[in-house]
């Protein structure tokens, strides 16, 4: 079963399209066990209200891929959820493949990559490695921060069409061409979600980060065409993470 199909099944069985971004503020290295305990505690509390978990370098750096992070991935999958590694892969092909091999060996179901690196000797080996294992590749299309326009929003000369176009439009088309399992489009830019949705249709799902703390609104992202909502600090830094996740899910079911 493909990662895209697994996500659909997870979302349906959990009754949720929320992907938890398991991010926490910096802690001194000697407090790494505290970070792991906090991550496990949040997972235990919120797993009934989410369909997947996204892990960033926030946890890989202090905990280690085959130490604390692998323990978290086992916990995630044991709760019937999917684990996404937000590696933002963006290197030469041989390096990208090795990165993928390590993260997949740690149990991740999908990786996030940056299409700026291109296909040949870029992301092609990553896609090939992923398909062999029935794992997923999600491409960045338009990030959620204010400076995203400087890269993803720039006007470029499209080598394939010979026309000037916007970078994120090119990336959306590449997601279709390359067979990506999803794209990331910030919930802080619902108009961009709508534009990209017109290109992707239902073939490539949209994952939208930036809900809450960054100013993105879940209802606007969904209305514009997002399939999954990536939510981090709104839940992880809440006094009661379970209540925050439950409240968000309840609000989505009312829209």
**CATH code of residue 165:** 3.20.20.70
pLDDT at 236: 93
Domain that holds residue 144: 3-253
pLDDT at 61: 94
Q: Dihedrals φ, ψ of 52, to 5°?
A: -160, 170
Helix axis angle, 190-200 relative to 167-178, nearest 10°? 40
Q: Which of 12, 34, 44, 88 is catalytic?
A: 88
Residue 161 Cα distances to 149, 174, 254, angstroms: 22, 13, 43
Residue 155: strand pairing partners: 166
- Residues whose CB is less than 8 angstroms from the CB of residue 212 and which lie 6 or more positions away in sequence, other chains included: 231, 233, 234
Query: Rounded to an integer, what distance in angstroms lies between the CA atom of residue 247 and that of residue 109?
Result: 27
Residues 211 and 231 sit within 8 Å (Cβ to Cβ):
yes
pLDDT at 216: 67
Domains in the chain: how many in total?
1
Residues 38 and 26 sit within 8 Å (Cβ to Cβ):
no
pLDDT at 197: 97
pLDDT at 144: 84
Percent of residues in the chain assigned helix, strand, coil, to nearest 5: 55, 20, 30
pLDDT at 213: 63
Query: Rounded to an integer, what distance in angstroms lies between the CA atom of residue 197 and that of residue 205?
Result: 8
Note if 88 is an active site residue: yes
Which mean pLDDT values do the consecutive 10-residue runs of the chain (255 residues) have? 94 95 90 92 96 95 94 95 96 95 97 95 95 95 83 83 89 96 93 95 94 75 94 92 93 70
Say whether 235 sits in a helix, a strand or coil.
Answer: helix
């Amino acid at each position: 079963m493909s990662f895209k199909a697994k996500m659909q099944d997870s979302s349906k069985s959990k009754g949720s399209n929320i992907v938890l971004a398991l991010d926490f503020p910096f802690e001194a290295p000697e407090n790494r066990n505290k970070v792991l305990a906090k991550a496990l505690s949040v997972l235990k509390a919120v797993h009934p209200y989410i369909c997947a978990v996204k892990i960033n370098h926030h946890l890989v750096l202090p905990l280690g891929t085959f130490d604390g992070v692998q323990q978290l991935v086992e916990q995630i999958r044991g709760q019937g959820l999917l684990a996404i590694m937000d590696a933002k892969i963006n290197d030469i092909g041989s390096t990208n493949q090795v990165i993928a091999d390590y993260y997949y060996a740690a149990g991740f179901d999908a990786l996030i990559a940056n299409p700026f690196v291109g296909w040949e000797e870029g992301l092609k080996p990553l896609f090939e490695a992923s398909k062999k294992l029935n794992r997923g590749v999600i491409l960045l299309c338009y990030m959620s921060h204010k400076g995203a326009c400087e890269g993803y929003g720039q006007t470029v000369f499209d080598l394939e069409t010979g026309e000037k176009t916007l970078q994120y439009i090119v990336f959306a088309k590449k997601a279709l061409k390359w067979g990506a399992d999803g794209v990331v489009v910030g919930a802080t830019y619902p108009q961009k979600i709508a534009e990209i949705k017109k290109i992707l249709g239902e073939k490539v799902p949209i994952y939208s980060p930036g809900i809450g703390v960054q100013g993105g609104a879940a209802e606007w992202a969904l209305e514009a065409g997002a399939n999954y909502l990536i939510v981090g600090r709104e839940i992880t830094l809440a006094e009661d993470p379970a209540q925050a996740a439950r409240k968000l899910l309840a609000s989505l079911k009312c829209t």
